[in-house]
Amino acid sequence: MLTRFEELLGTDFAGWPTGDVDDVIYGGYDHAEHRERVPGLVSLLGDASAADRERYLACLALVARGEPVGYETVRQLSLDPRNAPWYDRFIDPKFSVDSSYGHLSAAAADSREPAEEKGSSALRVEAFRSLIRMADREYLRGEAGGSPGRGRGAGVSSRHP
């Protein structure tokens, strides 16, 4: 039996298990079926009992796919970035600092098309503005170190599995 996380982000859109969460997060652009997973991702993001890594990857997927709730989550968390449940879980290997907001920034940058398609472009801009306001306090270059969804050796370490 698959866990909720495995169903949402550990299974590709053909129904096959995958060890590369990034394929599911970013591969969603090419599959309309990704919309069927949105309610589950929103639920996972809001589940305080879920693992921090899983909640973060749900948020990352929602942002990458242009979903309003993903952008709004980034806006809210940017008010107090170190209070995010996943803060300090994804560490840039070169600078040894949290890289979660850098990955969220990269996902937002790549989500122009789905945001336009879903009518969430204004929220995307607001999420960017929120990230820019905290750029002097938080590391936003996380995408340079690899992706948080990949397993060992991907360039970004997770302090807490």
- Residue 119 predicted with pLDDT over 60: yes
pLDDT, average across residues 129-149: 73
Categorize the per-residue pLDDT at 141 as very low, low, confident or very high, splitting at 50, 70 and 90.
confident
User: Quick one: 158 exposed, middle or buried, by C-beta within 10 A (0-12, 13-18, 19+)?
Assistant: middle
- Residue 160 predicted with pLDDT over 90: no
**Of 11, 20, 18, residue with least CA distance to 40:** 11
Q: Give the H or E element holding residue 103.
A: helix 100-109
Residue holding tokens 């690899």? Answer: 146
Interval 60-109: pLDDT, tens? 999 999 999 999 999 999 999 999 999 999 998 889 999 999 999 999 99
The mean of the pLDDT values for the chain is 87
Residue 81 · residue 137 · CB < 8 Å: yes
